[in-house]
Structure 1
Amino acid sequence: MKLTFYSPGFAVKHTAKLLFTGAMLCSSIGYAQIKDPIVDNIVKEGTQNSQLEKLGHELFDGIGPRLVGTPQMLQANNWAVAKYKSWGIDARNEKWGEWRGWERGISHIDMVSPRVKSLEGTQLAWSPGMKKAVIAELVILPDLADSIAFKQWLPAVKGKFVMISMSQPTGRPDYNWTEFGTKESFEKMKAARTAQTDAWRSRIAKTGLNNRTLPVALEKAGAAGIITNNWSAGFGVDKIFSAYTKKIPTVDIALEDYGALYRLTESGDKPKISVFTQSKENGVVPTFNTIAEIKGSEKPDEYVILSAHFDSWDGGTGATDNGTGTLTMMEALRILKKVYPNPKRTILVGHWGSEEQGLNGSRAFVEDHPEIVKNIQVVFNQDNGTGRVVNLAGQGFLNAYDYLGRWLTKVPDSIRTQIQTSFPGSPGGGGSDFASFVAAGAPAFSLSSLNWSYGTYTWHTNRDTYDKVVFDDVRSNAILTAILAYMASEDPTKTSRDKSVLPTNPKTGEQTKWPEPVKPTRRGGLD
């Protein structure tokens, strides 16, 4: 359940208005039963002529992950422009900044002693490339007394691969323990895991460094490479983020293999691994947002914006973060171009770059286009996995219940009845690109989806691939988005930007402030 906060003043002032609107919504629901040929055609086109599987195959299998600054990101930008143009939709790539150009190459990671085994591992994003394979022993970061002892120990890492992650007590996710384990064994495992996690956190802290600076210190001391395991609490799944080393490789090894290497090292078997990871530095490269639009016929300077970030981390192929949001918006605009080619307001799709590094593409768009931002009718953003939309919150906009409620009445029951709404809600300060628009005062909303184990299995992981996409749910989302965009375009009134009174922060005693716009990082990864 989502808690919604109201100030006492809000409750008194607006009770009558809410009651009146509730009555109006009831009558609107009855009205919604009247057939609307545009809505019917949206549903028909989205159901009978869906392009989602084809688009997903081309983007996820053909192009793959879309890390900012990589050739694959630019390839995806150009692919989307060409796809839109093939549908008769104007599209362009709009430069917003520059980034460190980097390209992932082939990785081979093998244990060569005490036995031979190919290991599952992934070099982290922006890990430096290697000219040849390196074979070396492993060493575990020891539990030392303090930073002085750590500095005294540092010479021992020269020429070795250093393991800097704890060894997990189990590779089974908690739901598996709940289903099959005894309560006693589950509680025992959790207690052991908590103790190990706390102890490892203390081990890192006693070096005087952190997870970002420790690899740099080991690199300077002559380590052959950094070995990590960033387990995501599911079978065979790890988070894959960025490397901090500049000369030696940083490699995440999957839990099953990392645990074996750790135990062999701990028991004195002196395992050796062979690592060869290729990557290419491409200098400073431009970064783009891909923009597509159908111009409005009556109010071309007012905008309905469909929003999804285009970039991804690159452990997998970025299928559900945020490939499915990308496909939802592309398919929605394709459908609209076919069945609603002359919208009253301009319908614009923004595929934003570098969301993963801080909403940079959308923040740049907001900063660069005040003339659009001031005339936004609504923004709909989708970015939390492949599931069908089940939640829509008001983001703190006082009258969002009015226009969103009216637009939702046109949505088929099979889709609408699954969506829980909460008004006025609280303004999102981050998390995804809708927040860039909310901070600028524009009514922007997150189309929040069913979980489908997103946080564990596909969010920023090595398992975020085509096979995890639930296309029936994405189809539902594309139809929903197209209908909402149609309704927002047709609405005779401009949406209200009035903000609700935000609650008092219980910790500070001060009233919560509306988020403020944040400047984008326009030149990244170059330090």
Structure 2
Amino acid sequence: MSDVDIDAVLGRAWHDETSWELLTRLTELEERMGGHPGERRAADLVASAFEESGVERVKLREFEMWRWNRGRAELAVTEPIERSFGTLALPYSPAGDVHTELVDVGYGTPDEIEASDVRGKIAVASTTTPPEKGRFVHRMEKFGHAAAAGAEAFVFANHVPGQLPPTGALRFNAEAAMPGVGVSKEAGAWLTEYAERGGRAKLSVSATTERDTSQNVVGTLGPETDEEIVLLGHYDAHDIAEGALDNGCGIATVVGTARILAGMEPALERRVRVAGVGCEEVGLMGSEALADELDLESVAAVVNVDGAGRFRNLQAYTHGSDRIETLVEETCDEWDQPVAFSRDPHPYSDHWPFLHRGVPALQLHSQAPSGAERGRGWGHTHADTRDKVDPRNLREHAMLAALLVRELTRSEFPRIGNETLREQLRETDAEAGMRAAEVWPEGWD
């Protein structure tokens, strides 16, 4: 292996503004919703940033998807008083008009929904899941359980104050079974009270879904080897905000990481395939298309940068891989950098199309500050803006990600067998939720 002055490469990264500049250009776009024109403009920005960072053979690769158009949404209580609330349709909500009773299902856990009479009613659920309720229950799971129990519509009430109705897909790449909308924490508190008083509400959504295309941005770094490491992050975002945290920070960190890896290229022992993927927010379609395109037997591991760069300290989701956990721990110890771990696998980000086919996966996220509420925070709301980002976090996480990828190129990992992964998901009670969200892989039965 050729000698590389890693300290010099990292030293240059300390004052590199590449990640911040890309984040700025992305957040200046009107929107980056999957399949929309703004997402294509974002792809072009990512491609230019890759090329300027030393990534080779950069290409845009199109894939088909279902493009969802938000339209309008209206929500009004009709009993015990008449009152309207601001609301947002949730991606892949169908058009529809519902006028029926409200029912509060608390945090929307399976037990709470089962204990509530939701049939024929509008179910109201919080965006959060407190620790005493067990694992975090994803929005799609809550929606799926409510639909299966016979609800007519779904209202997702933010747990973060500030008059911020949240958005987020109800299904992946397909129209959902019933209308769904998001409301602010403040509106949710009123809806809960009106539900307790036997209230009724009228919900109207005029969204549409149609066939279209999106694209991935893909290139390579390092030696031409039979095996490779895939480094990816999604560049799309919901259309209601700048998408700075989710996932402007992530794709900006990928670009910073690629720039550092280009500087230490002789130290890489496997090829690194670098990708900016589209349509994560509406169904992981970009990463699914990338996984379909590659020979996964040649992919030694995938590094999914979704959430890195948001807060000060790195958080590593190791998805059941003891070997990857050890590598991350050793690397961060060597460079005297803190890291938090989440070990349980989950299917709600771009590592999943690789993980459920046997590829070991590392997701790089950020550890929320002490005392922060559980959940997504500013993400998926109008408040996901560039002013929330500290450029130092982008630089530091890019440096750590580059060091981790370098180690991944020269390490061996056991594949993740389907039976092992299924058992891990069942141990965390994730299977029922994945089935409700319709993301349990075909053939696993």
- TM-score, length of structure 2 as denominator length: 0.67
- The aligned amino acid for 2:305 is Q
- Who is 2:311 aligned against? 387
Q: How does 1:30-49 map to 2 (within 5 A)?
A: 38-49=5-16
SS of the aligned residue for 2:118 comes to: helix
Secondary structure at the residue paired with 2:375? helix
Kindly tell me: are residues 41 and 68 of structure 1, through their superposed partners in 2, closer, same or farther at Cα, counting changes over 3 Å? same
How far the C-alpha of 1:283 sits from its partner, in A, is: 4.3
The 5 Å alignment of 1:291-330 reads 291-294=218-221, 296-297=222-223, 299-330=224-255
Instruction: Please give the alpha-carbon distance, in whole angstroms, between the structure 2 residues aligned to 1:206 and 1:128.
Output: 17
Q: CA deviation at 1:480?
A: 0.3
Compared CA separation, residues 238 and 398, structure 1 to 2 (3 A): same
2:386 to 466, 471, 474: 466
Do 1:363 and 1:518's aligned partners in 2 also have CA atoms closer than 8 Å? no
Query: Matched residues in 1 for 2:297 and 2:281: separation?
Result: 26
Partners of 2:114 and 2:330 lie apart in 1 by 53
Instruction: Say if 2:18 and 2:255, in contact at 8 Å, map to a contact too.
Output: no
Question: Does 2:356 align with 1:439?
Answer: yes
Any residues of structure 2 matched to 1:118-197 within 5 Å, and which?
120-125=86-91, 141-142=100-101
Tell me what 1:374 maps to: 297
Pairing partner for 1:451 from 342, 357, 368: 368
- For residues 100 and 439 of structure 1, the distance between their equivalents in structure 2, rounded to whole angstroms, comes to 23
The residue type equivalent to 2:289 in the other structure is A
Distance in 2 (alpha carbons) for counterparts of 1:350 and 1:313: 20
> Aligned pair in 2 of structure 1 residues 110, 292: CA closer, same or farther (>3 Å)?
farther
* Residue 433 to residue 519, structure 1, CA distance change in 2 (3 Å): farther
Decide whether the 8 Å contact of 2:27 with 2:385 is kept in 1. Answer: yes
Q: Once the two structures are superposed, what CA deviation does each residue of 1:259-317 show, in whole Å capped at 9, x if it has no partner? A: 679989999xx9999x9x997x68421122221322x33x4333122122333333433
Distance 1:507 1:342 in 2: 36
Counterparts of 1:506 and 1:288, CA distance in 2: 32
Kept in 2: contact 1:398–1:498 (CA 8 A)? no
CA contact (8 A) 2:22 2:252 kept: yes
CA-CA distance at 1:329 after TM superposition: 0.7
Structure 1 residues 391 and 364, CA gap change in structure 2 (3 angstroms)? same
**How far apart are 1:444 and its partner, in Å?**
2.0
Q: Report if aligned partners of 2:216, 2:277 keep a CA contact under 8 Å in 1.
A: yes
1:202 matches 2:168: no
* Corresponding residue number in structure 1 for 2:26: 59
Deviation at 1:59, TM superposition (A): 0.9
Contact 1:441 1:497 in 2 (8 A): no
| Amino acid paired to 2:156 | N
Equivalent position amino acid for 1:285 in 2? D
Deviation at 1:502, TM superposition (A): 5.5
Q: Output the amino acid matched with 1:387.
A: F
Residue in structure 1 matched with residue 405 of structure 2 by the alignment: 485
| CA distance 1:315–1:440, shift in 2 (3 Å) | same
> What is the CA–CA distance in structure 2 between the aligned matches of 1:118 and 1:206, rounded to whole Å?
21
Task: Name 1:254's counterpart in structure 2.
Answer: 184
SS in 2 for 1:458: coil
Structure 1 residue 479: deviation in Å?
Answer: 0.8
* Deviation sequence 1:112-157 (CA, Å, 0-9, x none): xxxxx99754344357899xxxxxxx99733xxxxxxxxxxxxxxx
* Distance (Å, rounded) in 2 between the aligned partners of 1:271 and 1:431: 31
Q: CA deviation at 1:402?
A: 6.1
SS of residue paired to 2:214: strand
Change (3 A) 1:467 1:107: farther
Does structure 2 retain, via aligned residues, the 8 Å contact 1:304–1:348? yes
Q: How far apart are 1:63 and its partner, in Å?
A: 4.5
CA distance in 2, matches of 1:229, 1:503: 32
Q: Which residue of 1 aligns with 2:48?
A: 82
Q: Do the aligned partners of 1:233 and 1:456 also contact (CA within 8 Å) in 2?
A: no
Counterpart-to-counterpart distance in 1, 2:50 and 2:7: 23
Following the alignment from structure 1 to structure 2, what is the Cα–Cα distance between the partners of residues 103 and 470? 32
Q: Is the 8 A contact 2:314 2:397 kept in 1?
A: no
In structure 2, the residue corresponding to 1:354 is in which secondary structure? coil
Larger radius of gyration: 1
| Gaps in structure 1 of 5+ consecutive residues | 1-35, 112-116, 131-137, 143-163, 169-192, 218-225, 521-527
Q: 1:364 aligns with which of 285, 289, 296?
A: 289
Equivalent position SS for 2:311: coil
Distance change (3 Å), C-alpha of 1:388 and 1:308? farther
State which of 386, 390, 395 in structure 2 corresponds to 1:475.
Answer: 395
Structure 1 residues 497, 263: CA separation in 2 closer, same or farther (over 3 Å shift)? closer
* Residue 287 of structure 1 pairs with residue 217 of structure 2: no
Q: Which residue of 2 aligns with 1:234?
A: 160
CA deviations on 1:416-448 (whole Å, 9 max, x unpaired) are: xx12568xx56x252322233233332321224
Distance 2:192 2:420 in 1: 50
Cα–Cα, structure 1 residues 46 and 259, in superposed 2: closer, same or farther, change >3 Å?
same
The one-letter code sitting in structure 1 at the alignment partner of 2:258 is L
SS at match of 1:141: strand
Q: Which residue of 1 aligns with 2:129?
A: none
Residue 391 of structure 1 deviates from its aligned partner by 4.0
Q: Measure, in 2, the Cα distance between the counterparts of 1:399 and 1:365.
A: 24
Task: Tell me the residue number matched to 1:16.
Answer: none
Compute the RMSD of aligned alpha carbons: 5.2
Pick from 64, 70, 73 the counterpart of residue 36 of structure 2: 70
Q: Distance in 1 between matches of 2:231 and 2:98?
A: 50
- Cα distance change of structure 1 residues 266 and 391 upon mapping to structure 2, 3 Å threshold: closer
Corresponding residue SS for 1:308:
strand
Task: Report how many aligned residue pairs link the two structures.
Answer: 393
- Give per-residue Cα distances to partners, 1:20-74, cap 9 Å, x unaligned: xxxxxxxxxxxxxxxx85321332222112323222121123243x332222222
Gapped runs of 5+ residues in structure 2?
Answer: 78-82, 124-144
SS of residue paired to 1:455: coil
Q: C-alpha distance in 1, partners of 2:247/2:15?
A: 24
- For residue 447 of structure 1, give the secondary structure of its aligned residue in structure 2: strand
Give the Cα–Cα distance (whole angstroms) in 2 for the partners of residues 445 and 429 of structure 1.
Answer: 11
Q: In the alignment, what sits opposite 1:91? A: 58
Alignment of 1:504-519 (within 5 A): 518=441
